[in-house]
Structure 1
Amino acid sequence: MPGSYTLQQFVAELRAITASRPQVSAILQQVKPLARRFATSSELRGRCNLQCDEQQGFGFQLLHEEPDHMLAVAVLSWLPGRGTPPHDHGTWGVVVGVSGDEVNAFWQRVDDGTRPGYAELRRLSEKTFSPGDAIAITPEIIHSVRNETDRISVSLHVYGRNINFTGRSQFDPERRTVTPWTVVQN
């Protein structure tokens, strides 16, 4: 019964999948359906607090991470009309829509990355993700997220490592800058 799938069961399966250190593509292929299943669980629905950080535009509710910061599971709550700058993750990830829609724009870095603090990006595509939709993210993918609705949207995020411990970056396409990025987690 999908509604009874627990965080404890989900994390146990994540540990089993990653224990042998398979290729990222194999991890993503196995984690994606499990994340979809957990996103529909009554336990996850009961844990969504919808608290958002006004300054950053979203709330990051950490549900689980290992002592070494691996296998992070979080619920993100997005304020209406708010989102993120383009960013990478520095780790693999799976994101599943829980409620509301989120617009993801995908970007490509076109400079060679040799100038510190400098980055040129090209916008590639855009896709709206709805509840139940899932996206698999490799460490080098650059995307931005925006809630273009008039109510809070919620998504489940599963990462190979807590994103505040990956050395990830945010990008400003207009100023052509790249800077380190961490998020406020509650």
Structure 2
Amino acid sequence: MRQLVLNSYWVKTQYSRPDAQTGVNVTTLYDEIGYPLTVQNVTTKPGLLSPIHNHGTWGVIFQIRGEERHTFWRRVNPAEKPLQIEPVGEHLLGPGEILSLHPDAIHQVETVGQKISLTFQFYGDTQPKSRFQFEPETQTARRF
């Protein structure tokens, strides 16, 4: 992953500025129907805080520019209360760093600092039926 991003002019230049209203822009670089692989560059504006969510698949994130704080959550009692979650830690991802996510990972992302964040993201099978946005206060989740 590091070798690909650092040595690829194309990967580092295929993006758009974050949308003025949402603060995010996703540039899909590869997404083939029926093939479990999605490759994208994502830009986010400074101060943006994502909802708490999962991806429902494995993922690898390479921070090209800017910084992101990833706060990780876990299910408190998956068998009895699968939607009850609690924070378990965080990681500040800086330029040149890589973060990998397992299929059960739940996280929230905040763009920190004054720079736009640009990440190269590589995911397995991204099915909407397995992606959720979590609300810890109400112990609910909805499709994301």
Please give the TM-score of this superposition, normalised by the length of structure 1: 0.70
Partner of 1:122: 86
AA in 2 matched with 1:147: T
| Structure with more strand by fraction | 2
The whole-number CA distance in structure 1 between the counterparts of 2:100 and 2:108 is 14
CA shift for structure 1 position 150 = 2.0
The whole-number CA distance in structure 2 between the counterparts of 1:101 and 1:52 is 18
| Structure with more helix by fraction | 1
Residue 113 to residue 169, structure 1, CA distance change in 2 (3 Å): farther
The whole-number CA distance in structure 2 between the counterparts of 1:166 and 1:38 is 30
Query: Is the radius of gyration larger for structure 1 or structure 2?
Result: 1
The whole-number CA distance in structure 2 between the counterparts of 1:164 and 1:150 is 33
Matched, 1:47 2:14: yes
CA shift for structure 1 position 172 = 1.4
- Unmatched tracts of structure 1, length 5 or more: 1-34, 182-186
Q: Percent identity?
A: 28
Provide Cα deviations, 1:37-73, integer angstroms capped at 9, x if missing partner: 2222211122122233623x32111110122152100
| Length, aligned pairs only | 143
Partner of 2:140: 177
Residue 37 to residue 53, structure 1, CA distance change in 2 (3 Å): farther
Paired residue secondary structure (1:50): coil
- Unmatched tracts of structure 2, length 5 or more: none
Aligned partner (choices 139, 147, 167) of residue 130 of structure 2 = 167
Partner of 1:150: 114
Residue 166 to residue 99, structure 1, CA distance change in 2 (3 Å): farther
Matched, 1:132 2:96: yes
Residue 141 to residue 178, structure 1, CA distance change in 2 (3 Å): same
CA shift for structure 1 position 165 = 3.6
